[in-house]
Amino acid sequence: MPIYEYRCDICQNIFEVLTSAGSQNEKVLCSKCG
């Protein structure tokens, strides 16, 4: 399963999310501000 790196548009927090190949269209919530 790939690990993707995201940056929150609100708080600029950078976090990683481990996802399965079929879940790429799901919304990702920031791990800091949710």
pLDDT digit string (tens) for 2-32? 899 999 999 999 999 998 877 667 788 998 9
CA-based radius of gyration for the chain: 10
Residues 6+ apart with CB under 8 A from 5: 14, 15, 16
pLDDT at residue 28, rounded to an integer: 87
List the domain range (segments joined by +) for residue 12.
1-34
Q: What is the pTM of this model?
A: 0.67
What's the number of domains the chain is made of? Answer: 1
Report H helices in 1-34: none
